[in-house]
Structure 1
Amino acid sequence: MAIVLGPNRYGKAETRLVRVHRDGETYGLVDFNVSVALSGDLAATHQTGDNSGVLPTDTMKNTVYAFAKQHGVGEPEAFALLLARHFVKTQGQVDSAKVSVESYAWDRLGPHSFQKRGDYTRTTVVTVSREATQVVSGISGLVLLNTTASEFHGFVKDRYTTLPESTDRILATAVDAKWRHLGDAADWATSFQGALDAMTGAFVNTYSYSLQQTLLSMGTMVLTNRPELAEIRLTLPNKHHYLVDLSPFGLENDNEVFIAGDRPYGLIEGTVTRDDAAPASAEWYL
């Protein structure tokens, strides 16, 4: 039986980058967390310790900072594409470069003053190979809640089922979503905001009989509104809210007082796709 080296990659993770754009009296601010991973003809370093094909991860970090100065920093997709294409073009032993960016938003308070926005993190994963380019945008930690217009009943019951059926409940989740672009020439800012607006709009306007139904509605709305997108993967934890029993105090609880549950929680995941979209060039959902 032979033992062989399988797929592998290496890189520099979580390079923190803050770029100030000094545009006259009004400054701009970009706050990124950048990770780079390279794969290709790298067997020798694993097998014998021969590092002749290894670009140091410290060099990757330095490239992030140098490119931020030389090219400026705008949309995360554009910056990630710039970096990934650079590594594939300049490193002959590299077949594929994956650049991931977390983008932290800051709201302007004045010409050079900002307040960090904490409601979600914008994400980008760009994979560039010698054959194809793939851009995946997304968000993590987008907390949404409907105080009504949600039911859950008619489910399977067995000897261990204790959950009561509900015709009026709180529906809450913290959305992680990733959507794959059909190309790489989109207006990244408009595309991102449009996908975000479609997701939140679908959550607000869907009368939900299950979180699965809401997931499909959100994904469908995104693809309907954004023709530049091929598919979207959604991860929706069910942030349970339990009615407090107020009967010991002689009080009725008409869906007004709740305990916000922490864990365990339900976890709903699904992908919504165009049936005619080209398949992904990499495992984009990882």
Structure 2
Amino acid sequence: MAIVLGPNRYGKAETRLVRVFRNGDTHGLVDLNVSVALSGDLEATHATGDNSGVLPTDTMKNTVYAFAKEHGVGEPEEFALLLARHFVESQPQVHGAKVSIESYAWDRLGPHSFSKRGDYTRTAVVNVSDAGTQVVSGVIGLTLLNSTASEFHGFPRDKYTTLPEATDRILATAVDARWRHAGLSADWAASFGGALDALKSGFVGTYSYSLQQTLMAMGTSVLTEREEIAEVRLALPNKHHYLVDLSPFDLTNENEVFIAGDRPYGLIEGSVVRDDAPAATTEWWL
């Protein structure tokens, strides 16, 4: 029996970068969390500890900071593409680079004053390899709630089923979404803003009989509005809200007072894809 090295990669995770752009008295601010992972001809270091092909992860960190100064930081997809291509092109032993970025938004309060926005985190993941270049954008933690226009009934029941059927319930979720671009020439800012708006409108505009139905509607909304996007993958936790029993206080509760549940929660995951979309160059999920 032979024992061989399987797929592997290494890199520098979560390099925190804050870039200030000083344009006279008015400043700009970019706040990123950058992770780099490289793959390629790395068998020697695993087998014998030969590090002649191992670019130090400290160098990866330094590259992030140096590129932020030398090239600036635009949209996260643009910065990730710049970094990933650099590592593949400058290191002959590296055949693939994955750069993942979380982007934290700040709202302007004044010329040099900002307030951190907390309703979601923007993401971008770029893979550059021999198979091609792939860009995946997304959001994590986009919290949405409909106070009505949601039902859930007609499900199978067995002896362990206690859940009552619902014809008017709160539907709440914290969306983690990723969308794969069909090409590399998108206006990244406009594409992200449009996809985010489409996710929200798909949620708002759907009378929901299940969270699965809402997932499909949200993904369809993105693909309908944004032709540059080939596929959308979503994870929707069902943030349960339980009706409070107010009868001990001689009060009725007509879908007005709820307990916001924490855990456990239902988790609905799925993808919505164009049937004519180009295939992914590397496997990806949330």
Query: What TM-score do the two structures reach when normalised by structure 2?
Result: 0.99
Is residue 155 of structure 1 aligned with residue 155 of structure 2? Answer: yes
Residue equivalent to 1:101: 101
Is residue 57 of structure 1 aligned with residue 57 of structure 2? Answer: yes
Aligned to 2:88, what secondary structure does the other structure show? helix
Residue equivalent to 1:66: 66
8 A contact 1:15–1:35 mirrored in 2: yes
Q: Kindly state the Cα deviation for residue 7 of structure 1 after the two structures are TM-superposed.
A: 0.2
Residue equivalent to 1:46: 46
Aligned to 1:82, what secondary structure does the other structure show? helix
Q: Which amino acid in 2 is paired with 1:65?
A: Y
Inter-partner Cα distance in structure 2 for 1:79 and 1:24: 24
Aligned to 1:63, what secondary structure does the other structure show? helix
Aligned to 1:192, what secondary structure does the other structure show? helix
Residue equivalent to 1:182: 182
Residue equivalent to 1:221: 221
Residue equivalent to 2:173: 173
Q: Which amino acid in 2 is paired with 1:262?
A: D
Aligned to 2:2, what secondary structure does the other structure show? coil
Counting matched residue pairs gives 286
Unpaired segments of 5 or more residues in structure 2?
A: none
Residue equivalent to 1:24: 24
Any idea what the Cα deviations from partners look like across 1:62-112, whole Å, max 9, x if unmatched?
000000000000100000000000000000000000000000000000111
Any idea what the Cα deviations from partners look like across 1:141-199, whole Å, max 9, x if unmatched?
00000000000000111111100001000000000000000111110000000000000
Inter-partner Cα distance in structure 2 for 1:24 and 1:220: 44
Unpaired segments of 5 or more residues in structure 1?
A: none
Inter-partner Cα distance in structure 1 for 2:77 and 2:111: 26
Q: Kindly state the Cα deviation for residue 131 of structure 1 after the two structures are TM-superposed.
A: 3.5
Inter-partner Cα distance in structure 1 for 2:129 and 2:161: 50
8 A contact 1:37–1:99 mirrored in 2: yes
Runs of 4+ in 1 over 3 A off after TM superposition: none
| Superposition RMSD in Å | 0.6
Q: Kindly state the Cα deviation for residue 130 of structure 1 after the two structures are TM-superposed.
A: 3.0
Q: Which amino acid in 2 is paired with 1:194?
A: G
Residue equivalent to 2:240: 240
8 A contact 2:131–2:281 mirrored in 1: no
Residue equivalent to 1:252: 252
Inter-partner Cα distance in structure 1 for 2:109 and 2:249: 47
